[in-house]
């Protein structure tokens, strides 16, 4: 009777109600169709209200339905238990119509706000999913139509998002069309070049046939073919010359002078090649000559490929200098026996590997990378990022230079105790050792733009001039008299 009266009162309030005789039937109805509110009696047959409430809150699909518990048990413990199990409110029996109406209105309003919140979060999730779809190139504009119909800020955001997506898609389609047109133009140009090559091939074969049939053909026809061939060959020569252009720069003049001086020193030293240490000294001069002249041509190169080529040629002099310097130091100081065949092979490994890597640098970049010409310099300044093997060779070169300097340094101590005649040789050797180190260190570690010009070839020229001065003035390569005089003077001083 109470259930029927409660249902009639709820119907008068404007709500549609449904009755269940027990708790099990109530669960079946709740699972069959959606409800906005449940009025649940604590005392029911088969399954009491507490158990039904537990089932409702454990079900993910039913846990958000608000529940108002109704019971004749007006005890605080029963109220607390219902609230703890998840009930929204509690009504005692017999129910008060005013209180019932207030509780129903409050719970339904709360349910409506909850539904609005869930719907809003779902719409936000659609916008987020659309952003991910744009990133994955799978966006469909109609996926945001429902969100865009909202009158609030989220709807405006969806409208803006749709418009931006349409613009991005339109730009992407336009770029694809432009790329397709460029491909068509490139293919047409390629086909045109291939078609242009066909007459040349036909003409070459016809010229060859005319030469073959020269005996049966007329001499006038052969002359005509040759006249047609000559203008084309001259044109090809002009094109090749234009590719290998070079400009004169004032910065190349010192390198040219250095190369001329070094060549003169090679000729002068060659006449005294029988002296101890003369052969490696000639190799040093030749290596420095290659370095200077190659760098001179590199300074005047106007394109990157030519600058890289002459820089690779200069590496031939760079790899010869360290082992030649050590060999000269050993022979000059009377330690030529140290230059065994095994030692020569070991000294040659790094230079040979370096040359191989230099000429194949485009395949691996172990010598240098990011090669370019610095337009701010008044000459062709090749700028690059050193590779891993560049630093390996630099350590190798500096190590050999240091070993040679130590060997000569120990010999300088002997010369310092000799007569003043040999003090000039000491000064010459010191300058010859220090100058290349200073020049190369300035080039490697000086800040830009000062590091764009390499003073190392000039430093080797200074060393060559100093050694030549010592050669003529103090008989530098005449080691046997120097050693013998030093020993005699040392014995004379002890006596």
CB distance 47 to 24 below 8 Å: yes
Query: Taking CA 435 as the corner, what is the angle to CA 423 and CA 375, rounded to the nearest 5 degrees?
Result: 165
CB distance 408 to 429 below 8 Å: yes
* pLDDT at site 360: 92
Q: Residue 40: which H helix or E strand, with range?
A: strand 38-41
3-class secondary-structure state, position 1: coil
Strand partners, 421: none
3-class secondary-structure state, position 220: helix
The answer for residues whose C-beta is within 8 angstroms of residue 372's C-beta and 6 or more apart is 304, 382, 383, 384
Least confident span in 31-45, 178-192, 291-305, 375-389: 375-389
pLDDT band, residue 355 (cuts 50/70/90): very high
Separation of alpha carbons 85 and 177, rounded Å: 64
Query: Taking CA 308 as the corner, what is the angle to CA 302 and CA 310, rounded to the nearest 5 degrees?
Result: 85
CATH architecture of 2-118: 3-Layer(aba) Sandwich (3.40)
pLDDT band, residue 194 (cuts 50/70/90): confident
pLDDT in tens, 103-115: 888 888 888 888 8
* pLDDT at site 183: 84
Q: What are phi and psi of 439, to 5 degrees?
A: -60, -45
Position 18 pLDDT exceeds 90: no
pLDDT in tens, 245-278: 567 777 778 788 888 888 888 888 887 777 767 7
Separation of alpha carbons 469 and 473, rounded Å: 6
| DSSP designation for 382 | E
pLDDT in tens, 36-67: 888 888 878 778 888 888 888 888 888 888 88
* pLDDT at site 241: 44
The secondary structure of 307-337 as a DSSP string is: HHHHHHHHHHHHHHHHHHHHHHHHHHTT-GG
Separation of alpha carbons 48 and 120, rounded Å: 36
The secondary structure of 113-165 as a DSSP string is: HHHHHHHHHHHHHHHHHHHHHHHTT---GGGGHHHHT-SSHHHHHHHHHHHHH
pLDDT band, residue 349 (cuts 50/70/90): very high
* Domain boundaries defined on the chain: 2-118, 213-243, 252-494
Q: Contacts by 261-266 with C-beta closer than 8 Å and gap 24+?
A: 261/461, 261/464, 261/465, 262/286, 262/288, 262/289, 262/292, 262/460, 262/461, 262/464, 263/289, 265/464, 265/465, 265/467, 265/468
pLDDT band, residue 480 (cuts 50/70/90): very low
CA nearest 36: which of 111, 106, 88? 111
Q: Residue 424, class by beta-carbon neighbours within 10 Å (0-12 exposed, 13-18 middle, 19+ buried)?
A: middle
Separation of alpha carbons 299 and 464, rounded Å: 22
pLDDT in tens, 196-251: 666 555 555 555 554 545 444 544 544 444 444 444 444 444 444 434 456 777 77
Instruction: Give 410 or 174, the one with higher predicted confidence.
Output: 174
3-state secondary structure 47-93: CCHHHHHHHHHHCCCCCCCCEEEEECCCCHHHHHHHHHHCCCEEEEC
* pLDDT at site 396: 92
Question: Could you give the percent of the chain with pLDDT greater than 70?
Answer: 77
Respond yes or no on whether the N-terminal peptide bond of residue 143 is cis (omega within 30° of 0).
no
* pLDDT at site 353: 94
- Let me know if the fold of 2-118 is the same as that of 252-494: no
Structure tokens at 69: 């518990």
The answer for residues whose C-beta is within 8 angstroms of residue 24's C-beta and 6 or more apart is 46, 47
Least confident span in 71-80, 166-175, 293-302: 71-80
Instruction: Give 475 or 178, the one with higher predicted confidence.
Output: 178
Average pLDDT of the segment spanning 305-321: 88
* pLDDT at site 323: 92
Q: What is the mean pLDDT of the chain?
A: 76
* pLDDT at site 412: 66
pLDDT band, residue 413 (cuts 50/70/90): low
Average pLDDT of the segment spanning 281-297: 86
Instruction: Give 90 or 244, the one with higher predicted confidence.
Output: 90
The secondary structure of 95-110 as a DSSP string is: PPHHHHHHHHHHHHHH
Quick check: pTM over 0.85? no
**How many other CB atoms are found less than 10 A from the CB of residue 372?**
12
Cα separations in angstroms, 188 against 185, 198, 201? 5, 15, 20
3-class secondary-structure state, position 301: strand
The secondary structure of 403-453 as a DSSP string is: HHHHHHHHHHHHHHTS-GGGHHHHHHHHHHHHHHHHHHHHHHHSPTTGGGS
* pLDDT at site 375: 66
pLDDT in tens, 147-181: 777 887 777 787 787 777 777 777 878 888 888 88
Position 451 pLDDT exceeds 60: no
CATH class of residue range 252-494: mainly alpha
CB distance 177 to 188 below 8 Å: no
Query: Taking CA 353 as the corner, what is the angle to CA 352 and CA 356, rounded to the nearest 5 degrees?
Result: 90
Position 357 pLDDT exceeds 90: yes
CA nearest 36: which of 166, 483, 13, 229? 13
Helix pair angle (49-58, 23-32), 10° resolution: 30
Q: Residue 349: which H helix or E strand, with range?
A: helix 341-359
């Amino acid at each position: 009777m109470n259930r029927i009266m409660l249902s009639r009162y709820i119907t008068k309030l404007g709500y549609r109600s449904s009755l269940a005789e027990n708790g099990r039937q109530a669960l079946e109805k709740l699972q069959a169709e959606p409800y906005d509110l449940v009025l649940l009696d604590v005392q029911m047959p088969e399954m009491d209200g507490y158990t039904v409430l537990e089932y409702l809150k454990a079900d993910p699909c039913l846990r958000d339905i608000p529940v108002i518990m109704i019971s004749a048990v007006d005890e605080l413990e029963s109220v607390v238990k219902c609230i703890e199990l998840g009930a929204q409110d509690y009504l005692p029996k017999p129910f008060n119509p005013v209180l019932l109406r207030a509780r129903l209105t409050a719970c339904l309003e709360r349910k409506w706000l909850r539904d609005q919140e869930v719907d809003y979060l779902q719409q936000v999730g659609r916008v987020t999913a659309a952003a991910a779809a744009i990133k994955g190139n799978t966006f469909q504009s109609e996926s945001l139509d429902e969100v865009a119909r909202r009158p609030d800020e989220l709807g405006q955001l969806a409208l803006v998002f749709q418009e931006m997506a349409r613009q991005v898609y339109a730009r992407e389609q336009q770029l694809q069309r432009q790329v397709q047109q460029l491909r068509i133009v490139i293919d047409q140009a390629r086909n045109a070049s291939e078609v242009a090559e066909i007459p040349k091939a036909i003409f070459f074969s016809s010229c060859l046939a005319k030469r073959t049939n020269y005996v049966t053909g007329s001499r006038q026809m052969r002359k005509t073919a040759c006249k047609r061939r000559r203008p084309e060959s001259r044109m090809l020569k002009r094109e090749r010359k234009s590719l290998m252009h070079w400009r004169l720069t004032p910065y190349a003049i010192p390198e040219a002078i250095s190369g001329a001086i070094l060549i003169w020193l090679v000729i002068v030293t060659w006449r005294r090649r029988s002296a101890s240490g003369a052969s490696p000294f000639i190799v040093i001069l030749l290596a420095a000559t290659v370095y200077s002249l190659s760098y001179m041509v590199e300074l005047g190169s106007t394109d990157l490929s030519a600058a890289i080529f002459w820089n690779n040629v200069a590496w031939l002099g760079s790899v010869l200098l360290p082992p030649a310097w050590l060999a000269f130091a050993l022979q000059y100081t009377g330690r030529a026996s140290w230059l065994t065949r095994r030692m020569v092979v070991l000294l040659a490994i790094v230079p040979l590997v370096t040359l191989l890597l230099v000429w194949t640098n485009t395949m691996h970049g172990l010598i240098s990378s990011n090669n370019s010409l610095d337009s701010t310099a008044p000459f062709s300044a090749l700028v690059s990022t050193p590779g891993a093997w560049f630093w390996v060779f630099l350590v190798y070169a500096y190590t050999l230079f240091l070993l040679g300097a130590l060997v000569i340094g120990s010999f300088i101590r002997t010369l310092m105790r000799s007569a003043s005649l040999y003090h000039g040789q000491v000064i010459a050797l010191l300058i010859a050792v220090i100058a290349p180190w200073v020049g190369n260190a300035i080039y490697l570690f000086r800040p830009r733009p000062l590091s764009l010009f390499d003073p190392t070839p000039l430093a080797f020229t200074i060393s060559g001039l100093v050694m030549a001065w010592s050669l003529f003035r103090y008989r530098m390569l005449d080691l046997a008299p120097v050693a013998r005089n030093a020993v005699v003077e040392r014995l004379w001083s002890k006596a």
